[in-house]
Amino acid sequence: MKTSKAGLDLIKRWEGCRLTAYQDSVGVWTIGYGLTSAAGLITVGKGLTITQKQADDYLVAALAKYEAAVSKAISRTMTQAQFDAFVSLCYNIGPGAFAGSTVVKRFNAGDIAGAADAILMWNKAGGKVLKGLENRRADERALFLTPAKEAMPIPFPQSEATPSPMPKPGGLIAKWVLGIVAALLALAAAFIAKG
């Protein structure tokens, strides 16, 4: 699976984009959309600057690692929304923490509501609860619980000038077969009556 636009938008919104390297809340050098050296794309350190295009490209490239980590950790079928929420969480906490999380254990066990609630547990950085992480986890949980959209057939526009649709062939065949059966039964009854 690949992250959808909804998932990408959520990650961008919560990570924010900074084109000059900075230290995050626990002192890790970060750039772009929360990109650290751990993503394996670039070495992030003091003084590093990138362009907006590089930030966007790095995010897309980095997501491949986290998408693969989610796909590897999850053993059940996911909806697109569940996958997107998992990728956002994994991007933020790292593949190792994600794979060993209660979120993954509950989801793989079929406890969807429990997995959704476990997302909220990841609200600390450096041992401290952060309001920003609480809000991000609430958004990820909401995305996770978004119902899957079913494909709906596109109806043909009807107008008064449009003739009614032809009957289904199966319906015509069924009527034809029933007619033959009725005729045969009538013949058999007549034959028995004569005999």
Considering all CA atoms of the chain, what is the largest pairwise distance in Å, rounded to the nearest integer?
Answer: 108
Closest CA to 115 of 78, 150, 72, 80: 78
Which of 15, 140, 150, 160 is the catalytic position?
15
* CB-based contact 4:84 (threshold 8 Å): yes
* Residues pairing with 87 in the sheet: none
Q: Is 15 a catalytic residue?
A: yes
Residues labelled as active-site residues: 15
